[in-house]
Structure 1
C-alpha cells in the first residue's frame, strides 16, 4: 500500500517480483519488475462509466444564508413537476398551494423561485422534471443581489438537464364544483448547442356563489353615530389566463450562455360582481350593483447573456422590455330596493359612480452582475436600472389622465465567506428612486446595508443572525391623484406626495437536525419608519352630509415582532413525515392620529406518506392574519388533502380543497379607525369540499444535452390602475 504521495516499498528478498497496482478509476497493472529499480509507475485512466453510485449524506446542509436539501428517492418518484417536489420537501415556513400553483411564506413576504440561479416563471416550474433536480437551495436570508427587500425566501432548484433530443409534457387539473381548470404543456428540442422551447399554460375560474358583506359603524364629527350594513348577494366571478413563452438557448457549458425568451400574458376577467343590499336605520333600503371587467395583455422580450471567465469569474447581463396594455371597466350604481335585485334595476339609479380606464405602460429593465469566487470567499458586484412610463386615462365619474414617469437605479456589492465553524455574508446596496406625475414627485437615495452571521455549534446545530435595512417605495396606483367612489358614503383618493419609507429588520434563528427530526426556531423584530398606510377622514359636502375619504399617507411607525417554531418529525424514514407549526405575532402601529396593538397566535400541521408510487398528504392551518395600519387582513383557511399515483411517465391524482368547510372559503378583515369601524367578509360558497382531479404525462427521446444556467431574470407586471 502506498502513502499519500504514491511512494511504496516491496518487502521482498528476491531480485524480481510480480507487481500488481490498482486504483479506483485507473487500469490495473500487473507485471514483473526488478526490486532494485522499480522507478515511477504510470497508470492509465479507465474508460468505463459507472452505472450508478449512491452516496448517503446529510439530507439538509446548513449554510450562512440557506439550507441545502437533497431530495430523497421517494420524494422524487412521487412528484411530477417542480411544485410537487417542493411540496414533498416540506420546507420550514413555506406552504405550496398545488391548486393555484403558488408558493407562500408563513411570514407574509414574497417567495421567489429560481432554477439554476435564474428567476423562474410558473411555466418553468411546471416543466421541471423532479429527477433532473440534484438539490434544492432554500435561501431563507436572501442577499442583496436579489434586489427585492420584501423577499422572505428564495428557492433555487439546482438541475442537471437531461434534454435527450426532445422533452415535453402535458398536465391538467379539473374541479368538480366551481368552474376550475389548470392546463399546461411544454416542449423542448435541441440541435447541437441550441435549444428551442415553447411553454403554454391556461387557467379558468368561474364562481357563482360569491358574496361580500360589510357591517360598519360611522362616527360623524357632529357626534352622531350611524350603523350601515351591506349584505352580500351571490354574484358571479369569472376569469381566464393564457400564458405563452417561446425560448431560444445557445450554450457551450462552462463557457457562455445566450438565452432569449418572448413572453405573452393575457388575463381576461369579464365578470367580477359584488352586489349588495344596503341597510341603515331610518332609511329606505338600497340595492348596490357593482361589476368590474378587466382585460390585460403583457408582451415582453427577455435577453440574457452569461460569460464564464478564467480564475472562477463570471459576467452576466440581462435586458427586459415590457409593454402592459390594460382596459378596465368599473360599474357602481345605487338603486332604491324594490322587492328583488332584478326589480330594483328597472328604475333609474339614484347614483352612478361608473368609469372606464385605459392603461398603457412601457418599461425597460437592464441588469449586470460580476462575481468572483475564491476558495473560502465569494464577491458579487452589480447594478440594475429600471425605467418606465405609465399613462392611465380615466373617463366617467372619475376623469383624469395620470401620467407617471419612474426610474430606479440599484447598486450593490456583497462579500460571503467561511472560516471553519463561522460563516458570514456582508454587503451594502444603494437605490435611487425617482417618480414624477406632472410637477409632483420625488427623487431620493436609499441605502440598504445587510449582514448575516452563522455559527455552527456542531454538525447538527447552528445559529444564525441577520440584520438589514430595507426601503419601500409607493405603488403607482397610490400615487395617482384620483378620487374613486365605493358608494355614496365612501371614497378613496390617491396621494402624489407619498415618500419612500425605511425598515429595520433583525432575525435570530436556530436550526437543529438529526436523522429522525429537525427543528427550526426563529425570532424577528422589524421596525418601519414613516410607513405608508391608509388614513380615513370625514369630509363635509355642500348639502351638509359627510363623505368618508380613505387616503394613503406616510404614518409614524409600524413595530412587528414574531416568534416561529416549525418541528418536523420523520416518523418512518423516507416514508412518513409530520410537520408542525406555531407562530406568535405582536404588532404595534402608530399613525398620524391613531395607535393600535394586535396580538395573534396561529398553528398548523401537515402529514405526508410516500410509499412505492403513492403519495398521500393532508395539511390544515389556522387562518393567517396580517396587520397594517388600522386594518387586519385574514387569509384563506387551509384544509387540503392530496392523493397521487405515479406510473412510468404518468401521474394521476385527486385534491380535496377546503376539506371540512361545507360552506366554502371565507376571507375576513376588520377596520379599527376612530371614525369608521368595519367587519368585512368575502364568502366563496361553492369552493367548500371541492374535489380536483389531476393528470400529467411527460416524455423524452434522444441524446443528452446540458444547458448553461442563467443568473439574472427580470419582469414587470405593475399596470398602476386601481
Structure 2
C-alpha cells in the first residue's frame, strides 16, 4: 500500500509539473507591440494591456525560455524605459519616458554584425549635461525617447572605441563601431593576444590576420599558435608534440572541406584547446582547435580555389556553396587532389646477424619509381536550426581515393651473391560513403542534449606486386626473365560500421557538467588471395562512457573527469574484451593577469589496430616478412604535463614539460626464423612489450616585433625516450628547433618557416618526418586572393624521410627521397562570394567518422 501511495504521489507531482506553463519563444527584430500580442495569446492566466503606438518603435531580438508570462515580459523589456505592473489577472506595460520624438538606430561592428548591450547616452549639446540614455539589444537596435530636436550621442562598449557625435532625434540608421581592444574579466587583450582558461587559450584574430586570409587554414597559420604547424599547400595541421590535432567549427568536428569553406571575417574567436578533455574521446589528441563562427540566416555564400605546382604533379582544387533560407541551410562541398611524382626512391642499408654468428650486409638501392594518386570528396549537407532551441544537421559524404601507381623498385646487393632487381608496385582504390545525422536540443536552465549517428561503408580493392629477378644490365632487361620469387597478392576489403553518441551538459554560473557515451560497432571482412591466402573477419565493438566537471573560483580553475571504455575485438575464436578506465584532472592557477600555470594528469588507453590483429604473413622480400598477432592486448599510458604561459602585448611565452609512461605498449619484435633449406627469414611481429618512457621540454616564444604587422615565432624542444622490450632496451635523446616569421601589411601577407626535422621514437625504431622550409606570399584584393608558395625551399635535392632500426638481429638505415619536390613553386588563387544577411546555425557538439579499413 505504501509503495502504491508513493507511486500515485510521484505521478501527481509529475502531472502538476507538466501542466505548469513554460514559455519558449525566439524573437528576431520584432516590434514590442507584436511580441506582447504574441505573449498575450500564449498566456492562460493573464491579459496583457498596453498602448500599441507607444511601444511600436521598440524592437525585440531575444530568446525567451521562462516558466511564466511575467518573467517573459521582463526579459523582452530588458533595458528599455518601460515598467510592468502585475495584477491577479492583468499585466500592464507602459513606457515611462513618453515623448513624440525618439532616437532610433542600430549599432554594428566592422563586419556589420550587431553590437549588443552597448551603453548609449544622450547629452545636451550646450553643456554636455546628461539628458537620457539606453542600451542596445541583441540585434544592436536601440530606441530612446527624447524631447530634444538634437543631442550629443555618446556610445561606449568594452572592446570598441567610444563614439561621440551630434545627431537629430529621429531614425539615424546604422552606427558603426570600431574595434579597439578586448577586456575580459579584467584582462586587457590587445589584438590577437591570448586569454588563458583551464583547458584552452582563446585568441581573437586581428583585422590584419582576417584581411589577409581566404580560408580557415590561412587564418590559423596567421595566428601562429604555439606547438602548431600549418601546411597551407597540403591542408594539414600538425602538432610539434607528435599527436593528433582535431579541427572544429562551432564545436563540430570539421572536415578539410569545412575549413576551406570557412570565411575568416565570420570568425569571432579561435579556441586552442591544448588540454583536450574526456568528452573528445581520443587519447591521442594533442590539441583541439575550435573556430567560433557567426553564420548567415539568409542569402548565400560560395567560393572556389586552386593550387598548381610547377615541378611535380601537384594540384589542389576546391569549391563550395551554401544557401540559406529561413531556418534552413543547404550546402555542397567538393575537393580534388592530384599528386604525381616520378623521382621517388627508397633506399635501405641493412646489417643482419644470424643465430649462427654469421653477419650479412644487404643493401637495397632505390631506383626512381612513379607515385600517383587522386582523391575526390563530395559532401552534401542540410541544416535546420532555430538558434538556442534546436539543431538538426544531416551530411552525406562520399570519399574516393585512387592510387593506381605506387612503385618502389630497388637493386639488391649482397657480398658473394649475384645482384637482384626487386620490382614492387601497389595499387589501391578506396571508396567510402557515409551518412551523418546530428541533433541538438537546448533545454531550460542552461541544459543541452546532443545525439549523433554515423553509418559508414568502406570498400577497398588493394593489389600488391612484389617480384625478385636476377639483375641483368637494367631493370627493363631484368624483368624479361622469369622471376626468382613472387610474393604478390590481391586484397578485397569490406567494412561496415555504425557509431552512436550522446551527451548531456548542464551549465551553472561557475561550473559545468558533461556526461556522455559512445558506442561503436563494426564488421570487417578482408580477403587475401595470392602468396598470402586468408579471410580475416574481425568483429569490433567499443563502449565509451565519461563524466566531466569543470569550474572556476577566482584565480583557480579545474577540470576533473573519468572515462571508461569497454573494447571487444574478435577474429574467429581469438580476441579479447576488456574494460579500461581513463581518469583525468587539469588544474590552472593565475599568478597574475599575464602569467598562469597549468598541470594536467591523465590515464589513457590504446587498443591494437585492425591490421595488427590480422593473422596474416606478408613478405617484403625473400629475406623479410611481417606477421599479425591476434593475441595483442590494449595498453595503458600515464601522462603528466606542467606548463606556464606568459603574455604581454609585445610578447608571449609558452613553456611545457611532459612525462608519459606506457605500460606494456605494442611495438615490433624481430626474430630470425629458420626455414627447411637452412636459411633464415627475419619476421617482424607486433607484441606487447615492457614499457615506453617519454620526457620532453618545449619552449615557444612569440615576439610581436611590429604590433599587428611583424611576428617572430621560435621553438626549441628536447626529448628523452627510454624503451624496454621483451628482449631489448634503448635510450634516445633528440634536440629540435625552428622559427617562423610573418609580415602582414595592407593586402599583403609574407611568411617563412623553417624547422629541423622532427623525430619520433617507438620500440626499436626512430622515424623522421619531412623537413619544413616553406615560403608563402599572398595578396588579397576584394574577394580574390592570389599567392605563391615555395615548398622545401633551399632543398634542391628534394624531400628526404629517414628512419633507423636498432634491433639486435637487424640494424637498418632507410631513406625515402622525393627529388622533384625540392624548391617547388605552387601558384594559388581563390575567389569567395556572398550575398545576404548572416545565418547562425546551432553549435554542434558531436561528430564521428571512420576511415580504418584494416588492410595492410
Q: TM-score, normalised by structure 1?
A: 0.93
**After alignment, is 517-526 or 57-66 more displaced?**
57-66
Whether the 8 Å CA contact 2:362–2:413 is kept in 1: the answer is yes
**After alignment, is 6-15 or 656-665 more displaced?**
6-15
Partner Cα distance (1:186, 1:133) in 2 = 18
3-state secondary structure, aligned to 2:187: coil
Partner Cα distance (1:344, 1:4) in 2 = 76
Change (3 A) 1:278 1:459: same
Whether the 8 Å CA contact 2:298–2:326 is kept in 1: the answer is no
Whether the 8 Å CA contact 1:481–1:495 is kept in 2: the answer is yes
The question of 1:179 aligning with 2:313 is answered yes
Whether the 8 Å CA contact 2:613–2:628 is kept in 1: the answer is yes
Give per-residue Cα distances to partners, 1:560-605, cap 9 Å, x unaligned.
Answer: 0000000000000000000000000000000000000000000000
Q: Which runs of 5 or more structure 2 residues have no equivalent in the other structure?
A: 1-134
The question of 1:522 aligning with 2:656 is answered yes
Q: Structure 1 residue 709: deviation in Å? A: 1.8
3-state secondary structure, aligned to 2:141: coil
Q: Structure 1 residue 552: deviation in Å? A: 0.1
Give per-residue Cα distances to partners, 1:356-376, cap 9 Å, x unaligned.
Answer: 000000000000000000000
Give per-residue Cα distances to partners, 1:700-721, cap 9 Å, x unaligned.
Answer: 1123322112110000000000
Change (3 A) 1:5 1:267: closer
Give per-residue Cα distances to partners, 1:191-224, cap 9 Å, x unaligned.
Answer: 2111110000000000000000000000000000
Change (3 A) 1:308 1:280: same
Change (3 A) 1:344 1:518: same
Change (3 A) 1:448 1:50: closer
Whether the 8 Å CA contact 2:431–2:458 is kept in 1: the answer is yes
Change (3 A) 1:47 1:194: farther
Change (3 A) 1:700 1:544: same
Change (3 A) 1:504 1:651: same
The alignment's C-alpha RMSD in Å is: 6.0
Give per-residue Cα distances to partners, 1:17-60, cap 9 Å, x unaligned.
Answer: 99999999999999999999999999999999999999967721
Q: Structure 1 residue 162: deviation in Å? A: 3.2
Give per-residue Cα distances to partners, 1:655-692, cap 9 Å, x unaligned.
Answer: 00000000000000000000000000000000000000
> What's 2:434 paired with?
300
Whether the 8 Å CA contact 2:795–2:823 is kept in 1: the answer is yes
Matches within 5 A, 1:439-454: 439-454=573-588
Give per-residue Cα distances to partners, 1:510-546, cap 9 Å, x unaligned.
Answer: 0000000000000000000000000000000000000
Q: Which runs of 5 or more structure 1 residues have no equivalent in the other structure?
A: none
Give per-residue Cα distances to partners, 1:103-138, cap 9 Å, x unaligned.
Answer: 000000000000000100000000000000000000
Partner Cα distance (2:484, 2:779) in 1 = 58
1:69 to 203, 226, 247: 203
> What's 1:277 paired with?
411
Partner Cα distance (1:298, 1:36) in 2 = 60
Change (3 A) 1:338 1:372: same
3-state secondary structure, aligned to 1:39: strand
Partner Cα distance (1:77, 1:38) in 2 = 29
With CA pairs under 8 Å and 6+ residues apart, which has the higher RCO, 1 or 2?
1
Whether the 8 Å CA contact 1:208–1:236 is kept in 2: the answer is yes
Change (3 A) 1:680 1:703: same
Whether the 8 Å CA contact 2:328–2:382 is kept in 1: the answer is yes
Whether the 8 Å CA contact 1:164–1:700 is kept in 2: the answer is no
Change (3 A) 1:457 1:303: same
> What's 2:332 paired with?
198
Partner Cα distance (2:364, 2:147) in 1 = 105
Partner Cα distance (1:259, 1:563) in 2 = 42
Structure with greater Cα Rg: 2
Partner Cα distance (1:44, 1:683) in 2 = 52
> What's 1:245 paired with?
379
Aligned residue pairs total 722
Change (3 A) 1:45 1:471: closer
Give per-residue Cα distances to partners, 1:357-410, cap 9 Å, x unaligned.
Answer: 000000000000000000000000000000000000000000000000000000
Change (3 A) 1:405 1:46: closer
2:784 to 650, 675, 680: 650
Q: Structure 1 residue 190: deviation in Å? A: 1.5
Whether the 8 Å CA contact 2:159–2:183 is kept in 1: the answer is no
Partner Cα distance (1:412, 1:497) in 2 = 28
Change (3 A) 1:28 1:636: closer
Change (3 A) 1:6 1:640: closer
Partner Cα distance (1:479, 1:397) in 2 = 19
Partner Cα distance (2:841, 2:136) in 1 = 41
Partner Cα distance (1:644, 1:679) in 2 = 40
Change (3 A) 1:283 1:38: closer
Change (3 A) 1:194 1:225: same
Change (3 A) 1:572 1:394: same
Partner Cα distance (2:169, 2:844) in 1 = 57
Partner Cα distance (1:69, 1:468) in 2 = 26
Change (3 A) 1:458 1:36: closer
The question of 1:19 aligning with 2:153 is answered yes
**Larger helix fraction of residues:** 2
Partner Cα distance (1:172, 1:41) in 2 = 38
Whether the 8 Å CA contact 2:799–2:818 is kept in 1: the answer is yes
Whether the 8 Å CA contact 1:246–1:261 is kept in 2: the answer is yes
Q: TM-score, normalised by structure 2?
A: 0.79
The question of 1:476 aligning with 2:607 is answered no
3-state secondary structure, aligned to 1:107: coil
Partner Cα distance (1:241, 1:7) in 2 = 48
Whether the 8 Å CA contact 1:163–1:700 is kept in 2: the answer is no
**After alignment, is 179-188 or 160-169 more displaced?**
160-169
Change (3 A) 1:542 1:466: same
